[in-house]
Amino acid sequence: MSGPDGRTGVGVLVASHARPRGLVAHHPAGARATIRSLVALIVVGGLALVAGVAPAHAHGGEGHGATKPLGGAGAVVIDGYRIELQGKPSPLAVGVESGLVARIDRAGGGLAPVSGGTVMIGIGRNGAPIATHAATEKTWAGSYTLPFTPIQAGAHDVRVVIAELEGRRFATPLTLDFHVDVERAPGLGWPAWTALALTALIGGIGLYAAAIRARRAPAGALNLLEIDWLRRVLTSPAFLPVIQVSAVAVMAAIAVLGFIDVQDGGVNLATKLTWTIWWPGIIFTFVLAGRVWCLACPFGALNEWTSRATGAWRRLPRVFRNLWWATAMFLALTWADEQLGVVRSPAVTAWIILIVGAVAVGVGLLYERRSFCRYLCPIGGLIGIYSMTAPLELRAKDSAVCRGHTEKQCYQGGGGGRGCPMFEFPQALDRNNYCTVCLECAKGCSRDNLTLRLRTFGKDLWAATRRALDEAYLAVALVGLTILVTAQMLSAWPEWVSALARWLPPVVRTNLKPVTYLGLVETVLLFGASLVVGPLLVLAAAVVSRRLTGPDAPGLKRTFVVFGYMFVPIGLAMHLAHNLAHLLLEGSAAWPALQRAVAAFTPLSLGEPDWTVAPLAHEPVVGLLQMAVVVGLFGLSLVAGHRLSLRLHADRVRASRALVPFAVLAFVFTVAGIWLLNQPMGMRHGM
């Protein structure tokens, strides 16, 4: 056999690289116009883009039926036959129905096509095992075609196996390997159109807000409750019940599926919705709108409904009124996720739902309002800490009005509202930690003294007056926890744990099974990184900070507590970045799981499940988003640290010195996170 490079042998490797082409989007510039005209322009422009640009790029400017060589490396000549790999269309692109074509001709003059052969073709990601399938001779003689629709961009290997040609069966099938590149989806693709739609939506909302402000001429920030239609929706008696009943119904369905459906976490809808969609996705609601998730939370609804039905009036015992219990339960849940395989077990997922629901109901039977949500919810502390960054806040317009109003319907209830279910007085409310934006206070306030407004991202971190050790400790512990959990997703993690396990005493490794002592090592790492190492590092930074600022510096505990809030963005960055990968790379697999569940348990059909779904975003895009999140929130951490230091030290020079060790530590945590996120990472479930 001889190839274009003159080498001989049974197998020939031909490099065939199809280079992706850039796409240029032209954005029309808008002229000055009225607010309404601009909104109309955005909408019309978006429709024009969808109608005009998408068809123009539908197939990269090539005819769909064209069959062309994949790349320009030439054909392979072997045993008197010329084999060329072609694509229909060419180049291959994600999401475009294509055909891999092995074009076989007789070598020499004329290149007569060779028909009636037995040809197998297979394709796989670069370096992955390749399964070949029978190719059929279609359209043109000598063109053996395998239908193929790429789902991922990047380098792929194509294998062509020829078992028989012209009645001649080869003792050793001729095997040829090719390399091809799959381009991104042609045109803008649905992520780009989603971005365009969000841009249009944000632009329209911004212009609408500008129009409202211009018409009402408010003295300060825009009060969203002054938008009549929005206030009517948010304060409607039916608003919360509809959301909560729907959420409870979905939760019940997930629990049932967890018990009765197939016990495979990769295909069961219960695990897919809970751990691949909800668990990674809920974190984004905290940073965008605070504790707004608590409005729809089925466990919170069960707790509140039970408390109302029984008329419970007792307060939860004081020993439980802190974040230590919620922090402990969150760590226990994280440990169960890592050690017991909770995310892979539909039945365990269902049991968790039942247990948490039962606790919420039990607390509601005995104690008033949302005591479970305020103090005992496993993710309640996490939600509260991260909600401090949200750019949305509910506050009293004028605290003097509150002081002069003795009835306090905002808290006690009355006037159409039930009173704050989370034990918050709007008069003293200056942070988002426990406000669920349920608007019960606004419904009951007879003085119309509540405002729902946008504010600076992360403002609560430095502007809030209330600070507590349990919150500061949780903020710091989350840094170590999120870094450690991210490390556990790395493909190298088992090797690291095994290496550490070799330091165990021989008696331990002799008398325990490997799975047991390796699990013990992981457990020590998890709790040690979150409960000990992270807090100790921040405590050490507090010691250094006090030394840098002189003998009359604030106490060690106060320094730790105040600067502890500076690390909220660091933990949040790792939490967001880690879950971005799960949500965007694995989230699309929830759709075939839904298709399967609907077909199995209802008379309806959403189509045949296709488990070879493409990720919601490609890995380079996910990586870019992760780095943007980590770097951006590191900047927020420094801003918060600077503001906190100024609150702790009146002298700016001393404040700058006090910040240095904490800023260095935040930098070290961030660098560690960046390094981990750029290592090969596994998936929560198979795709």
**Does one domain contain both 161 and 94?**
yes
**What does the alpha-carbon distance between residue 606 and residue 337 come to, in Å, rounded to a whole number?**
31
Domain presence at residue 460: no
**Does one domain contain both 360 and 286?**
yes
Q: How much of the chain, in percent, has pLDDT values that exceed 70?
A: 87
**Does one domain contain both 349 and 307?**
yes
> Residue 508 above 90 pLDDT?
no
**Does one domain contain both 473 and 535?**
yes
**Does one domain contain both 584 and 629?**
yes
Domain presence at residue 555: yes
Name the domain boundary from 430, 454, 478: 454
Question: DSSP alpha helices (H): ranges in 86-227?
Answer: 189-216
Digit-coded pLDDT (tens) for 614-638 = 788 878 888 899 999 999 999 999 9
Q: What is the pTM of this model?
A: 0.74
Sign of CA dihedral 402, 407, 410, 414: negative
**Does one domain contain both 302 and 375?**
yes
Tally of domains within the chain: 3
Digit-coded pLDDT (tens) for 578-623 = 899 889 888 888 999 999 999 999 999 998 888 877 788 878 888 8
Digit-coded pLDDT (tens) for 487-503 = 988 878 888 999 999 99
> Residue 36 above 80 pLDDT?
no
**Does one domain contain both 402 and 503?**
no
Residue 346 CA, chain-centre distance (Å), reads 21
DSSP type of residue 650:
S
Model confidence band, residue 184 (pLDDT cutoffs 50, 70, 90)? confident
Residues making up the chain, counted from first to last:
687
Question: Do 474 and 564 form a contact (C-beta atoms < 8 A)?
Answer: no
By residue range, what is the domain housing residue 270? 218-328+335-387+392-454
**What does the alpha-carbon distance between residue 344 and residue 340 come to, in Å, rounded to a whole number?**
9
User: CA triplet 549, 555, 561: central angle to 5 degrees?
Assistant: 105
**What does the alpha-carbon distance between residue 76 and residue 16 come to, in Å, rounded to a whole number?**
12
**What does the alpha-carbon distance between residue 657 and residue 528 come to, in Å, rounded to a whole number?**
29
**What does the alpha-carbon distance between residue 152 and residue 254 come to, in Å, rounded to a whole number?**
30
**pLDDT score recorded for residue 371:** 96
> Residue 22 above 80 pLDDT?
no
Q: Mean pLDDT throughout 284-300?
A: 93
Name the domain boundary from 403, 429, 454: 454
Q: Mean pLDDT throughout 524-541?
A: 95
Give the closest residue to 426 by CA, choosing from 227, 280, 608, 225: 225
The residue with greater pLDDT, 471 or 49, is 471
Domain presence at residue 683: no
Domain presence at residue 607: yes
Domain presence at residue 54: no
> Residue 29 above 80 pLDDT?
no
> Residue 366 above 90 pLDDT?
yes
**pLDDT score recorded for residue 37:** 47
**Does one domain contain both 515 and 647?**
yes
**Does one domain contain both 227 and 136?**
no
Question: Do 543 and 556 form a contact (C-beta atoms < 8 A)?
Answer: yes
CATH value at residue 93: 2.60.40.2480
Domain presence at residue 441: yes
Digit-coded pLDDT (tens) for 413-430 = 887 889 999 999 988 999
Digit-coded pLDDT (tens) for 71-114 = 555 688 888 888 999 888 878 888 788 889 999 998 876 778 89
Model confidence band, residue 35 (pLDDT cutoffs 50, 70, 90)? very low
Q: What is the largest CA-CA distance in the chain?
A: 102
**Does one domain contain both 516 and 428?**
no
Domain presence at residue 416: yes
**Does one domain contain both 160 and 269?**
no
> At a CB cut-off of 8 Å and minimum separation 6, what does 179 contact?
13, 14, 15, 16, 17, 126, 155, 156, 157, 158
Domain presence at residue 33: no
**Does one domain contain both 450 and 558?**
no
